[in-house]
Structure formats: structure tokens, C-alpha cells
Structure 1
Amino acid sequence: MTLEVTSPDDAAYDDIVWDGLVHSYRPAADWKTRVSPGLKFATAADDEIDPVTFEVLRNRLWTINLAHGDTLTRMSGSPVFQGLDFNMSVLTEDGEIVMSAPFIQYLNTGSPLVVRYLMEKFSESPGIDDGDVFLASDPWIGASHQMDVCIAAPVFIDGELFAWVSNAAQQYDLGGIVPGGWPQNAPDIFSDPIVFRPFKLIERGVLRDDLEQMYRRQSRMPDMVALDLRAQLAGCRFAAGRLKETCEEFGAATVKAAMRRILDNAQAAFARKLERIPDCTLSEVLYFDEKLPGDRTTHRVQFNVTKRGSRLIVDNEGTEEQSDGPNGFTFMNFMGIVLGISGLTLLHEHTFSIGGADRQIDFRPLPGTLTCCDYPAAVSGGVLNIISAFERLQNVFARIMACDPETKQDLVVSGPDHPLLVLAGMDDRGNAFGTAMLEGAGAGGGARTHADGVDSSGLSIDPLIRMPNVEETEQFYPLLILYRKEAEDSGGAGRWRGGAGMEVAFTPYRSLGIEAITNAGGQGISTNQGMGLFGGYPSPTAHYQVFTGTDVDAQWRAGRMPRGVDELSRTEHLRLRAKSNGTPLAAGDVLMLVVCGGGGYGDPIEREPARAARDVVNDYVSRAAALEVYGVAVREDGTVDEAATAARREEIKAERRTWPPAADRFGPSPEPPSAPATGEPPREVHEYVTARDDGGRRVLACSRCDTFLAGYHGGYKAGLSISETSVEIIPRGGDPRDFLDEDMVLRRYCCPGCQTLMTCEVARRSEPMLEEIRFL
């Protein structure tokens, strides 16, 4: 059910006990008063640091983080690590992130929570000493989920705690009722992989063998886990050693001054950008499917971001209460999503110094909800919903950035969800195997204000994400990949289209048995993947499809390698749900995974016809979609039929003229207080909306035809015309009724004056018009 409560006032919210037991751990303002007096902080810093030295040290910390990541990939035998499913950070002595790395952006944002928990709870006993290394996989303290194991090491200089280094990385199997650690049928934490609250694994430089044996005992693949664990420990040891060497070379007080300036510069830049944005509240509603496999209902999630002055306030009012099943995540991820997006968008030039953004953001999620789960919720299998929420919140930040000409040029539209595929089974020698197939990393990027999204760019959550090499995958596991190719109509349509995603197919090879486990977040399988912006369409659904009893072996014997599943004969065709715990794959069966691209930007009929035609020739857009959505008629020779294109685009506009007013569909909105005229010149606050004076008041109007849409404090969508249709009109879109009983619709809103398509939303038909932005 949807929450009926309102956000608590400041006093009530401050009374919530965030201790890491039921609610997540959040250090109180006075947490340092509970640190042992025996733990001395190194705080001495030079008053001044010259610009050249500062830049050298800033880049030194950056290269330490990059080499930290390289250490993990070189030491680990895990294809998951080869796909860069990790992140690492350098933190101040009291736990601010000075700099993270360009890997998965939300993954190690829990490190400040972990190290502050250690200092608050463990500094007296068992103590924090030089050479210690701690491990934590508790999602209510600082792990994204149990498989994203956090390793943290203190760095001491002359007996004082100078800094921390940390990494968090996805380990394949740490137990639980399903191989791999993503149990989709877990009703609560007790069916998930085991939770490890923080403990000291290395004591004064010596690995605790008893604790490592306890840790490995939970896994179906203890040797792989041991290698991954050693890679993470080696990464922290490397980073700590390089940081100490840097202090020896430049002096600890100089390095400390550089760390402080990095944070101060990032904070100041973040604040300056926010100050240029008009005060406003932005909201984004999305849905999580399937709290448990077979559930045919949706579950509402809402993010609200209020910008006032140079600060952001982020809450989750409007989000459903948590329920049974792996359908939510903890506070660490709520915070991590916001900070990760901040680093990618408003702080991209500050080398992921997200501690600077953290100083300017107030996090106010309600505990016990899907985006701030309380113990004992099942959260391991719900980790893909973190990515879904990350991508959708990226559009909120894009709307913020669109209000300022300087930041607008940097915005990127939401990318797609990540449809995870996990394989587990036995090879022909009787050896157990398991892996997360990272071909989903071949997603396309979201569109930009001036260019298409990058095709097969990878997920925006991880700037350096990569797919494993085909030969390496086939070397490690009993399967053969038939093909990998970019998928037609997989990016969201728009003036600038989303990048194309990836289609991959494989079959078992020399296997005694394989089971496929699916785990997709949001509504990536039922309705759409990446959401468009400013009239851009969403990208279509991802697909897990199984073709049984194919003739692939006969085609090989004939010397042919199929280039598409349509070239195969088959006995049966199955489309798997977003959450499933094991579909057997026999010899001759083929599994196809399709992961799409990002959302489009702007009205599709504003796309240059020559670009649409080139997309058709290059198989990025189908001829049918070019005509139906872009309004571009492409001849068989790949050229544009100018007359047919003009006629089709006029036909699209004529159809939009028949759309009824949104106020007729939803009823009139309450009229907010009128905003007085400011005397300021008109200001773009949206690709197609301008804030301007109209006599004695400030209003929102169409920037193309100047049609009045709403008062300045009102919702501009209330002044638009609306079309409400099935999401199946999205090119390559599927039928949500295959998976859902609820009626999901695509709503498109256009200007009633010039018929420019201004925004789209996917919602339950029963939902009111979704709030997008209100200026304060």
C-alpha cells in the first residue's frame, strides 16, 4: 500500500534512532564524543599550499585510486572483478570521502558510515591500530548488499590516524538459499546470504585465519571468494602504502592540506552551481515490480529533491512501506545514489570528491520504506532496484541542470536498468561453477542536449564499466556465446536518441547442467528501461528469452554460426520474468539477453531527417519506428522522402491537436499563490518552458509559441494536452500484461499551442498526473 504518512517535522525526524540495528546506522552529530581518547586524529595541515603542489597531490590521490582498482583486477580470478564491479575511496581521518574512483558510483559511498561506525564502536575495543583491516557486509551499516563487501583500513602517520582507504566489491557467492547470493524468493534477511557486521580481519598486519575460515565457510565457491577477498585486502594495503609514501615525500601536513582543499573546492563548486538554479522541488515516481517471483503488482517509489539556496534536501515521501521479498534497499544506498549522481553530474570536474557534495545535502528518507528498509528486510536480491533508482534520479538532476545554461550543456538523460543474469551449474567434469553475466554492461547511454547517447557505452553508474571478453567467459564457464550485437530500436526516441543497447545469445557447451537466475530492477522487463527527458521517449523493455530444443548444433556441424535467434528452429520459446530462481538450460537450448539504451531527449519529430535515415541504414532504428515516431519516411536506398516526411510530421501534429487538456483528464489542480513579477528577463527552466513576467505576475510559458502554461508556483504539466496509451507504442516495447495485472500507461504531454511534445511519464492508469517540478 502507499504510505499515508507525511514527512515528520525536524524534531520528530531527529528523534529517530539510527543505530544500525533496526534502522540503518547514521552517525549522530556528536559521534566523535564516543571515540576512544586513545585514538588520536592527525589534524595538522599547512595553512597554504601552492597550486602546483596541490595539483600534483590531487592527481596522486587519483592515480592511487585507479591503481587500487587495477590491483583488484590483477589479483582476482573473478570475471565480476574483471567487469570492474567495485569502487574505492580515500577518506579523511574522520571519514569524509576525499576522492572516489570512476567505477560503480554508489558502491563505496557507505565507507564513511563504516569507518565512523568503527571509530564510534570499536576504537576502545578491539581497538583501531596501524596495520588493521576491517571487513563489513552489513547493509544496515555500510554495504550496498551482502555481496558488495566493504574493506576499510586506517592509515597512521607517526602514531596518529591520518586517513582511511576503502574498497567495496561484488563477491560472487557468500551463501544464502540460491547460488550467487541474489535469492529472489527470500521473504526476509534470514534467507539471504549471511550478514557480517564489521569485524577486524587483519590485526596489526596479520590475517586472522580463524575469521577468514569462518567467512569462506558460507560460500559455495570458497576458493573464488578467498581470491577475491585477498584482492580487496591487497588493494587497501597498496593504497595505504602509497598514501604513506606520499606523506614521506611531501610531508603529512602538506598532504593533509591538499585533502582539505580538494573537499573545500568540491563543496564550493557544488554550492555555486546550486546557487545559480532557481529554488524548486522536483519529484520522480517509479515502480518496482515483483516483491517476490510471480507477484503481479507494482510498488511505488518516489524521490523528492528540494533545492534551496546552495543546499539540497532529499526525501522519499510517497514511497511504499517495505514488504516481504527482495524489493528494496537500505539508507546507505539512498544516500549513495544521490552522492553518486552528484559526482557524475554537478561535480564531474572534481574527480569524484563526493564528500564535498555530502556537506551540502540533507538526507531525510523515512525508514521502513522501500528505499530505506529496516532490518530484517531481504535486501540482497533487491540490489538491482538501486540501479533503477539511480538512473531515474539522474533525470531529476538533469532537470536541475537544465535551469542553468552552463550546467545544461553537461546533462545526460537517464540510462537503462541493469537486467542481471546469474548462471550456476556443473561443467562436464563435475565442477561447480557460477557467475554473473555482465553482458548487461553493454547498455546504451542516455541522450544529451546536443548529441545522441553513446551506443553500447555501458551503464552510467560505472563510467569505466566493461563487458568481459568473450573468450575469457568461454574459457571459465561451460557455454558458448553465439553473438553479441547492438539491438535495433533499443534506445529511447527523441530529438537526440538514446544510445543503442546490446543483444547477446549463448548456449550450454560441455555442461552437466546450467540454471539461469534472473534479477531485473524497476520495471525494466515489464514496461520500459531508461526514461526520456523533455519529450524524449523511454527506451523499451529488456528481455530474457529462452529457446529450447534448437538446431544450433546442426548449424555448427554445417559450418554456420547463427547471427540471430530468428535463424534457429526451436521447440519452445519462453520469456522469463524479472525475478526467477532457476530456469534449467539443456544442451541445445539458447538464452538471449537484450539490454536497451538510455532515454531520448526532446521531441522526436524535431530530429533531423538525415540523422533518422542514417540510423535506419545502420540498423539502430527500424524503418517502421522512423516513420511512426520520428515522422521520417526513409526510402529503400536509405535516402529521405522529403514530401512524405513533411506529410507524416504534419499528421503527427494533427493527431496531437486532438489530445484533451490534462486538466480535463485529472481535474483542475489547486491554484497555488501567484508569484509577483520579478523584473528579470525570461529564463529557460526546461527545454521547452520559459519563466517570464506577464504583467504583474511571474508565469511559465511555452518557449516555442509563448502559450501560457501555469503560474510560476504551479505545475506546468497542468497546462498541457495529454495522450494516454499502452506502453506498447514504444518501439520494440513489450506488453506489460505479460507480467502485471495493473494497468500501466504511457502518458505524453504536448503544448496545446504548438503541439511540441514536452514530457512523457509511465504510470499506473489510476495515478494522478505525476508531479515533476515546482518553483518555490
Structure 2
Amino acid sequence: MTKENKTIDPITLQVIRGAIETIAEEMAHVLFRMSFSSIIRESEDLGAGLFDKNFNTLCESESTPMHIGSIPGYLHGIEETLDDGEWYEDDVVVHNHPYFGASHTPDLAIVIPIFYEGELVGYSGNTAHHIDIGAATPGLIIDVHDVYAEGMLFAGTKLYRKGKRNDTMWNFIHNNSRAARQLVDDIEAQIASARLGVKRFVELLDRYGKELVFNACNQLMDYSEKMLRQRIEAIPDGEYRAEGWLDDDGRNRGQTLPVKVCVRVIHDRIEVDLTGSSPQTPTAYNVPFEGSTKVAAFAAFRKLLLDTATSDTRVPSNQGSFRPISVIAPEGSIFNPIAPTSAEARFTQCNMMIDLIIKAMAPVLPDEIIAGSSASISFASYAGVRPDGEYWVFLEVNEGAYGGRPQSDGPDSIDNLMANTRNNPLEDLAMHIPMICERYELRDDVLPGAGKHRGGIGVVKSQRILTDGIITHESERHTNVPWGIFGGKEGAAGKCEIYNAASNAPTREMHSKFHGLEVKKDDVMAYYSPCGGGYGSPLERDPQKVLDDVLDGFCSAEQAHEVYGVVLDLEAETVALDATSRRREELEKAG
């Protein structure tokens, strides 16, 4: 815990807490409202917060967990690489180097130092995912050899020095992106957001005084740490293991990549050991350790132990919630690659890691865990060249589904585990780029995992491209089906297809990830996300819920009879209760 500070009374403490949390939310709001690219403006693939001079997170916006937890890593990397080797008032730094703390290269961080009465007291920072930073292919990359193919690398680079704009660097950025206008304007939005954070925090210091504000922040961090340690102490000490696999590395097809998780509970702390997971890959399918692997572990245990919906008290999101968690990943593994290996396509591995942590903890946290989720992310880049020679680039995150939960079904068609992005309005898509959405609905080709609480239903989205172009797609779980738990049944794997809407050419079954695929006008990419596994025995499911699912098309009458043991009168739309009781007795005896 932090050094002992003067105790702040509870009312003042909550006032300071509310103030700094509001600052973080206001920063995020400014960022997504001012941005031009849809991945930031609509999907809100971003994070914002305030940090003390030792790089501790004081507060964070309620955005994507991957962004916020990573900024301390960025700050440590900036410390190693900072232009001039020193911060000055009104400096503005951009940073994205994955081997100096960044989450991955498209997530540019903007950091501005906070000076108060001539003293450096902290930092205002944010990160956001940009649509193109000049990588080997537009928007996303997978099958490249090293980090230098990922696009522009910034390490402690000052866009402003003592308030003076570095025009040479801005020109460099503008001249090295396929979507230069959007990139520059989005960076400007990040700067506006970070400057607002500086302004608001200085106002807070003026009002309450530096000593009181930082004492309160330290007390809030200690409180978050204490609460997490208390939850960990309630778990029996021991090692809890789970393992799974990833489909491939985007190049070497048919070669699955093992992911092994060992969670060690040691009194009031947790150690996540990834030893035994796949060696680093020769493609970009690796995970930066500081900026992504560690952050995934932090997020996993915040979800399990500090969830705001299930906790009696709301615990602040700050550095204190990171302190009890440590991570081990051998150098040279997929979760801790060695430079200059590429490490841009790193999200699905983190989701699988979190899903396995949840599975590992099932024996000791049965009322907190869920069944297997889609535990992936469908991240697609569509791009092409307009008649005037200008590129258009569109990034899209497609939804997945959660596994069944202890008290309810898994949510359908939703970002899950490590992500918190939103979907793009279809009208926005049609207004700005040459694409049409042909289909966007819940999957009807497979059924979710059966259980007392069934798994969530994945999404199917079909996007038609109206020019020749390029598609890169990162996803997972085409071969590793989300598991059921405590008697629940497994869910369904994902899939991806490409066909041409204007011809009779055969449909192409695609791998879960592919890089720089050249497509023709009227080609359609149809993505089907995995469906979640079931929680608990299907024979314990409320028969009325089974009927509702059959009427909604989420369950077949055959599955209702064979798996759930529910006998239905579909003409009357009722459950035959006596026949259902007898059928369930038959299935229990047979099983």
C-alpha cells in the first residue's frame, strides 16, 4: 500500500472521488464527440484518465478496459524515451511503441503533464484506436514479419514542446497515413481531451489544495486495494488451472496455439502464470506484455471480484485494483514477445486468457463465474481507393455473446470480456463509405449452449463492399467451441464467409483471421460470432423460458424435447407440465 497519509473525512473523500471521476468521464466525452473516425466517434474505442507523477491511475473513464489499464505502461515507456528527457509545461506527447509499454501500435496515447505552481504533479492522458497509421495494409495487420511493418512508431514524441507546435512531426504524420485527415483530426481531439483534463484537475487543486487532493487520491487507491485483497482472501489458497487453444497465427493454417493459465491464490494476492502457452508467432499475432497481457489479468479479476452489479459497495477504478495482481509470461511466448517481433493483432488472445481465468476459478467461485463466452473479437478493416485516388478505410468491431450466468442467460450479441465498444449505426456507414450492410441480426443457423441459463446468441453481420478493395479480419474460436459449465452444454463456434452478391460464384469459407485479402465489387463478408455455453443443467431450466425461446426461434422444438426435457403444445403455445415432468425424469435416469 501507499505511504501513510493524513486521513480524509468520508464526505470530503467522496467529493474528491466524484470530482476526479467526472473529469475522466468528461475527457472521454470530449474525445468521442470531437473525433471524426467512426471507430472512436461511434464505437468509442478509447480511454481517458488522470495519473499521478508516479504513473498511478487516479481515475478512469468507463470506456474499454484495455485502454485505461494500459496507460501506466505507456507512461513508463515515455519515461524511457521522452524527447529532451524532460517534461515542460504545455508539452504534448504521442506514444504507441509496443516495446515501450503501449497496448499495440494503432492505440495512440496522448499525454500532457500537469504542472501546479511550477511543480510536475501528474499527467492527463488518453488512448484511442486510429483507423490507419501507415501499416503494411490498411487499418489492421496480421501477417507481417516485424514491428516496423505496423506503421508509424512513436516513442515519447513531442507534438508540442513548451506549447509550441512541432510542425515537422505533424507533417510527417499527415504524409504517412491512408486516412490522413481523420488521423490528424482524431489526434487533435485527443489533445483537446487531455488539455481539458489538465484544466479541470488544476481547478480541483485550486479549490481544495494539492495536499488534500492527493491525500484523498492515495486513500482511494488504498481503499480499492484493500477491497480487492479482502475478496481474494476469501478464496482458498491454491493453484487453479485451465487451458484452451487459438485457431492459428494467421499464416500457418491448421497449427493451433495453446493457451495455458494457472491462477495462484496466495493469501491476499493473485499470480497469473501463462507458462506453457504458445511460443511467439512469426506474424503480428502476439501480445505486448506491459500494455496488454498484464492489463487483461487486471480486467479479469475486476470483473470477477469487483463487479459493480454484484458488489455491495462500488469500488473506485484506480491503481489500487491493479496492485494485488501479478503476471508471469516467459519471454519469447505469445504473451511476452521479444522485439522486433510484430504484436499488433493481440486482442483475441487476451479474451481467451480471460475466459480461461474464469474457467479456472469455477470450482471456488461458482456464483461469480460464467460459462464460456465468444471470447474473441471480430475486428475487420475494409478499405479501397476512390476515383479521385483517395483511400477510404473503415474499421468495425462485431459483437459476440456471453456464456450463461449464475442467475440469468448470457446476453446476446454484445461485446464481451475485455471489450466495451459500441456498434456503428448503419446509416453512418452508408453516408460515408461505399459499403452496404446486407444482414445484421442474431444467428439462426446454430443454437446457443443449453443450460439452466442458456448461453448468449451471437451476431451475424454481412457487409457488402461497393468497390474493389482490401479486407483484413481478426477473429477467433472457429475451432474452439465455448464451453458449458456445471452441466451446461457447449455453445457454437464462429465462422466467416465471403461471397459475391452479383454473381453465382461459390461461397468461400474463410479462416478466423486473414490479412490483406483483395476483394471485388459486390463481394460480401458475412461474419457469424460464436454463441455462449450454458450454465447449469438444462433439465433445471424454467419450462416457460424454453417455450419462449422456441417461439422466438432461439431453440428448436426438438432441442426442447431432447435436451431440456420440455414437452410443448405449439398450437396452443403452452407447456404440457405433467408430460414435461415425466420426460425430465426419463432423461435424468438415462443420463
Separation in 1, partners of 2:123, 2:487: 45
Rg (Cα) greater in structure: 1
Residue 91 of structure 2: aligned partner? 132
Q: How much does 1:304 deviate? A: 1.1
Q: Equivalent residue of 1:140, what SS? A: helix
Separation in 2, partners of 1:578, 1:422: 14
Conserved in 1, the CA contact under 8 Å of 2:385 and 2:391?
A: yes
Matched, 1:344 2:296: no
The correspondence of residues 285-434 of structure 1 with structure 2, limited to 5 A, is 285-293=243-251, 295-332=253-290, 333-349=292-308, 350=314, 353-396=317-360, 400-402=364-366, 408=367, 410-416=368-374, 417-427=376-386, 430-434=389-393
Conserved in 2, the CA contact under 8 Å of 1:100 and 1:351?
A: no
Separation in 2, partners of 1:539, 1:231: 41
Amino acid at match of 1:165: S
Matched, 1:500 2:457: yes
Matched, 1:631 2:565: yes
Candidates 107, 112, 129, aligned match of 1:148: 107
Q: Which deviations, in whole Å up to 9, do the C-alpha atoms of 1:122-179 show, x marking residues without a partner?
A: 49x4311222222211112221111111222221111222222221211111122211
Kindly tell me: are residues 47 and 257 of structure 1, through their superposed partners in 2, closer, same or farther at Cα, counting changes over 3 Å?
same
Kindly tell me: are residues 211 and 538 of structure 1, through their superposed partners in 2, closer, same or farther at Cα, counting changes over 3 Å?
farther
Separation in 2, partners of 1:326, 1:490: 33
Matched, 1:257 2:209: no
Matched, 1:482 2:438: yes
Q: Which deviations, in whole Å up to 9, do the C-alpha atoms of 1:357-409 show, x marking residues without a partner?
A: 2221232221111111111222113433223323333444555533xxxxx3x
Q: Percent identity, aligned pairs only? A: 23
Q: Equivalent residue of 1:504, what SS? A: strand
Q: Equivalent residue of 1:546, what SS? A: strand
Q: How much does 1:256 deviate? A: 0.8
Runs (5+) with no aligned partner, structure 1: 1-42, 403-407, 552-569, 657-776
Q: Equivalent residue of 2:507, what SS? A: strand
Residue 168 of structure 2: aligned partner? 210
Residue 526 of structure 1: aligned partner? 479
Separation in 2, partners of 1:239, 1:399: 43
Conserved in 2, the CA contact under 8 Å of 1:344 and 1:352?
A: no
Q: How much does 1:45 deviate? A: 9.8
Residue 101 of structure 1: aligned partner? 61
Kindly tell me: are residues 164 and 654 of structure 1, through their superposed partners in 2, closer, same or farther at Cα, counting changes over 3 Å?
same
Residue 708 of structure 1: aligned partner? none
Matched, 1:581 2:581: no
Separation in 2, partners of 1:204, 1:232: 18
Residue 453 of structure 1: aligned partner? 410
Q: Equivalent residue of 1:534, what SS? A: coil
Residue 311 of structure 2: aligned partner? none
Q: Equivalent residue of 1:512, what SS? A: coil
Q: Equivalent residue of 2:6, what SS? A: coil
Q: Equivalent residue of 1:106, what SS? A: helix
Q: How much does 1:473 deviate? A: 1.1
Kindly tell me: are residues 75 and 344 of structure 1, through their superposed partners in 2, closer, same or farther at Cα, counting changes over 3 Å?
same
Conserved in 2, the CA contact under 8 Å of 1:506 and 1:590?
A: yes
Conserved in 2, the CA contact under 8 Å of 1:550 and 1:590?
A: no
Kindly tell me: are residues 393 and 630 of structure 1, through their superposed partners in 2, closer, same or farther at Cα, counting changes over 3 Å?
same
Conserved in 2, the CA contact under 8 Å of 1:288 and 1:327?
A: no
Kindly tell me: are residues 388 and 209 of structure 1, through their superposed partners in 2, closer, same or farther at Cα, counting changes over 3 Å?
farther
Conserved in 2, the CA contact under 8 Å of 1:531 and 1:598?
A: yes
Kindly tell me: are residues 628 and 153 of structure 1, through their superposed partners in 2, closer, same or farther at Cα, counting changes over 3 Å?
farther
The correspondence of residues 234-253 of structure 1 with structure 2, limited to 5 A, is 234-253=192-211
Separation in 2, partners of 1:141, 1:352: 27
Does 1 or 2 have the higher relative contact order (CA < 8 Å, sep 6+)? Answer: 2
Q: How much does 1:536 deviate? A: 2.7
Q: How much does 1:429 deviate? A: 5.6
Residue 43 of structure 2: aligned partner? 83
Residue 183 of structure 1: aligned partner? 141
Conserved in 1, the CA contact under 8 Å of 2:114 and 2:124?
A: yes
Q: How much does 1:487 deviate? A: 2.1
Runs (5+) with no aligned partner, structure 2: 309-313
Separation in 2, partners of 1:394, 1:231: 36
Kindly tell me: are residues 597 and 63 of structure 1, through their superposed partners in 2, closer, same or farther at Cα, counting changes over 3 Å?
farther
Separation in 1, partners of 2:447, 2:112: 43
Kindly tell me: are residues 448 and 516 of structure 1, through their superposed partners in 2, closer, same or farther at Cα, counting changes over 3 Å?
same
Q: How much does 1:78 deviate? A: 0.7
Q: Which deviations, in whole Å up to 9, do the C-alpha atoms of 1:507-561 show, x marking residues without a partner?
A: 23xx33133222113xx12232x4433333333122222232448xxxxxxxxxx
Amino acid at match of 1:546: I
Q: How much does 1:336 deviate? A: 0.5
Q: Equivalent residue of 1:243, what SS? A: helix
Q: Equivalent residue of 1:303, what SS? A: strand
Q: How much does 1:347 deviate? A: 2.5
Conserved in 2, the CA contact under 8 Å of 1:533 and 1:599?
A: yes
The correspondence of residues 587-598 of structure 1 with structure 2, limited to 5 A, is 587-598=521-532
Separation in 1, partners of 2:269, 2:70: 21
Q: Which deviations, in whole Å up to 9, do the C-alpha atoms of 1:258-283 show, x marking residues without a partner?
A: 21111011011001111111112111
Separation in 2, partners of 1:133, 1:401: 44
Separation in 2, partners of 1:142, 1:633: 57
Q: Equivalent residue of 2:240, what SS? A: strand
Conserved in 1, the CA contact under 8 Å of 2:77 and 2:155?
A: no
Amino acid at match of 2:301: S
Q: Which deviations, in whole Å up to 9, do the C-alpha atoms of 1:571-614 show, x marking residues without a partner?
A: 42222111222444444443322223433211223212221121
Amino acid at match of 1:213: N
Kindly tell me: are residues 91 and 430 of structure 1, through their superposed partners in 2, closer, same or farther at Cα, counting changes over 3 Å?
same
Residue 273 of structure 1: aligned partner? 231
Q: Which deviations, in whole Å up to 9, do the C-alpha atoms of 1:86-121 show, x marking residues without a partner?
A: 112222220111222222112232321222343466
Q: Equivalent residue of 2:65, what SS? A: coil
Separation in 2, partners of 1:258, 1:272: 21
Q: How much does 1:472 deviate? A: 0.6
Aligned length: 580
Separation in 1, partners of 2:389, 2:263: 53
Kindly tell me: are residues 474 and 85 of structure 1, through their superposed partners in 2, closer, same or farther at Cα, counting changes over 3 Å?
same
Separation in 2, partners of 1:525, 1:201: 42
Separation in 1, partners of 2:364, 2:47: 27
Q: Which deviations, in whole Å up to 9, do the C-alpha atoms of 1:9-47 show, x marking residues without a partner?
A: xxxxxxxxxxxxxxxxxxxxxxxxxxxxxxxxxx99972
Kindly tell me: are residues 216 and 393 of structure 1, through their superposed partners in 2, closer, same or farther at Cα, counting changes over 3 Å?
farther
RMSD: 2.6
Separation in 1, partners of 2:3, 2:271: 33
Residue 547 of structure 1: aligned partner? 499
Q: How much does 1:66 deviate? A: 1.3
Kindly tell me: are residues 542 and 317 of structure 1, through their superposed partners in 2, closer, same or farther at Cα, counting changes over 3 Å?
same
Amino acid at match of 1:92: D
Q: How much does 1:348 deviate? A: 3.1
Separation in 1, partners of 2:75, 2:116: 17
Separation in 1, partners of 2:549, 2:357: 29
Kindly tell me: are residues 99 and 200 of structure 1, through their superposed partners in 2, closer, same or farther at Cα, counting changes over 3 Å?
same
Conserved in 2, the CA contact under 8 Å of 1:102 and 1:352?
A: no
Amino acid at match of 2:332: G
Q: Equivalent residue of 1:345, what SS? A: helix
